[in-house]
Amino acid sequence: MKPTISFHGSSTDEAERRRSLRRLPPAFRCRRRSVAASAVFCCLMLLMSAGKSEAKCSFPAIFNFGDSNSDTGGFWAAFPAQRPPYGMTYFNKPAGRACDGRLVIDFLAQAFGLPFLSPYLQSIGSDFLHGANFATLASTVLLPNTSLFVTGISPFSLAIQLNQMKELRQRVLEMGPEGNLPPIEIFNEALYTIDIGQNDFTSNLASIGIEGVKQFLPQVANEIAWTIKELYDIGGRTFMVFNLAPIGCFPSFLTSLPHESSDLDEYGCMTSYNNAVNDYNILLNQTLQQTRLQLQNCSLIYVDTYSVKLELFRHPQNHGLIYGTKSCCGYGGGAYNFNPQVYCGNSKVINGMNVSANACSDPQNYVSWDGTHATEIANKMITMAVLSGSYFDPPFPLAQVCDLNPIG
């Protein structure tokens, strides 16, 4: 891992890019050569062909759909308020992210020269000129059958997030580009990112087990594919779909899901759960291959973040980290520093003792921030790996195709 990425773009290029971003001309997008455009299906052709023309691809906006892995403040805008120590590393206060700092979507926006994405649900101070973030913590792909107040599942599932996207576009159609709204062309030119499904996989795992969860995973993959087609119908042409993480390495699940010690691999991750995630990822990959055949003239990229995260959990030392399956913020110490009864930032009386789940002093040495979510440092490494293009299916050198800014 740790692929080397050559970033480019001088500061004058950058100034020009920012000016053109403000102007938002319709031509601001991946330049497509007419040869490539003639008979391509939804594949990498457009991005690839952009590499051959003089102008590099860039995106004026990102529209993101997801859960806590990419929520930049939506959930906590709807249901205030998040507590410290969230945000401690970068924002120095809770910033609506399930992290000590920035998420992959934050670094991705930075790489494409865009500001942090405003959550669609945030009514104060939002700016949708460069996209919007529909992700909320605890969101599922499938419609939830339960309430936030019963099981902690977000009401903003993928279908709702899609409706919000359509509503945003409808407002732009009605009102034109005014205030904090983008011009209508942006819906064709934007990058659409989808990073969701982890809660469909995990929320019922303890009660129905792997075999139970497997029953509805095809529905999850199909719903993602359907969402891409809907986004295509409203103009979307470039999509990145992130696969699911190796949850068998998460301190939260290592301490809460039933398993035999024989299920642990040499890195201390649960084989059965990781294999089940892997099976789902294969299904997702296959489903997206089908979707590509059905849609013309677009780019649909499957992003294998599972492999990147697994590598970090397995060999943290190889990447300048110390702890893999141990949580930075948690209670209990030991191998996992996680207690399912008291989450990061909370206190609880356990056995007559008032205990608190606090942050470690060195999150830069951990993969896992709070037992379930990655640290900022891990998110940065994951983004570097993603931007290298090596984890795309099929792999291609994104940095050679698109203008990328350094992240950090």
Ligand X SMILES: *[C@@H]1O[C@H](CO)[C@@H](O)[C@H](O)[C@H]1NC(C)=O
End-to-end CA distance of the chain: 18
Answer yes or no whether residue 145 interacts with ligand X by CB under 6 A: yes
**Residue with smaller CB distance to ligand X, 17 or 32:** 32
Active-site residue, from 71, 106, 373, 388:
373
**Residue with smaller CB distance to ligand X, 271 or 356:** 356
Q: In whole angstroms, how close is the CB of 15 to ligand X at the nearest point?
A: 27
- In the shown chain, the binding pattern of residues 350 to 369 toward ligand X, with x for contact by CB under 6 A and - for none, equals ----x-x-------------
Residue 245: closest CA among 307, 295, 190: 307
Q: In whole angstroms, how close is the CB of 1 to ligand X at the nearest point?
A: 15
Answer yes or no whether residue 140 interacts with ligand X by CB under 6 A: yes
Answer yes or no whether residue 400 interacts with ligand X by CB under 6 A: no
State the pairing for strand pair 191-195/62-66.
parallel
Q: Is 78 exposed, middle or buried (0-12, 13-18, 19+ CB in 10 A)?
A: middle
Contact 357, 345 (CB under 8 A): yes
- The DSSP code sequence of 14-59 is HHHHHHHHHH--TT-S----HHHHHS-BSSSHHHHHHHHSSSPB--
**Residue with smaller CB distance to ligand X, 145 or 294:** 145
**Residue with smaller CB distance to ligand X, 30 or 377:** 30
Contacts of 324 (CB under 8 A, 6+ apart): 249, 267, 268, 312, 313, 314, 315, 316, 367, 368
Contact 310, 319 (CB under 8 A): no
Residues constituting the chain: 408
Answer yes or no whether residue 246 interacts with ligand X by CB under 6 A: no
Answer yes or no whether residue 297 interacts with ligand X by CB under 6 A: yes
Strand segments (E) across 166-289: 191-195, 238-242
Concerning whether 68 is annotated as a catalytic residue, the answer is yes
Q: Which of 91, 216, 226, 396 is close enough to bind ligand X by CB under 6 A?
A: 216
Which region, judged by CB under 6 A, interacts with ligand X, from 106-114, 138-146, 329-337, 363-371? 138-146
Q: In whole angstroms, how close is the CB of 364 to ligand X at the nearest point?
A: 25
How far is Cα 380 from Cα 400, in angstroms, rounded to an integer?
Answer: 20
Answer yes or no whether residue 110 interacts with ligand X by CB under 6 A: no
Answer yes or no whether residue 226 interacts with ligand X by CB under 6 A: no
Contacts of 140 (CB under 8 A, 6+ apart): 67, 153, 154, 157, 158, 196, 197, 199, 200, 203
Active-site residue, from 68, 154, 327, 388:
68
Q: Which of 144, 251, 330, 332 is close enough to bind ligand X by CB under 6 A?
A: 144
Which region, judged by CB under 6 A, interacts with ligand X, from 92-100, 109-117, 136-144, 174-182? 136-144
Which region, judged by CB under 6 A, interacts with ligand X, from 18-26, 82-90, 137-145, 205-213? 137-145
User: 152's torsion region: left (phi>0), alpha (psi -120 to 50) or beta?
Assistant: left
How far is Cα 193 from Cα 195, in angstroms, rounded to an integer?
Answer: 7
Concerning whether 393 is annotated as a catalytic residue, the answer is no
**Residue with smaller CB distance to ligand X, 180 or 290:** 290
**Residue with smaller CB distance to ligand X, 53 or 356:** 356
- The DSSP code sequence of 84-148 is TTTTTTTTSS--SSSSSS--HHHHHHHHTT-PPPPBTT--SS---TTEEE---TT--SSPPSS-H
Q: In whole angstroms, how close is the CB of 127 to ligand X at the nearest point?
A: 26
Answer yes or no whether residue 130 interacts with ligand X by CB under 6 A: no
Concerning whether 373 is annotated as a catalytic residue, the answer is yes
Answer yes or no whether residue 32 interacts with ligand X by CB under 6 A: yes
**Residue with smaller CB distance to ligand X, 1 or 377:** 1
Binding site for ligand X (CB under 6 A): 32, 37, 140, 142-145, 216, 219, 285, 289, 296-297, 304, 347, 349, 354, 356, 393
> Which residues are part of the catalytic machinery?
68, 370, 373
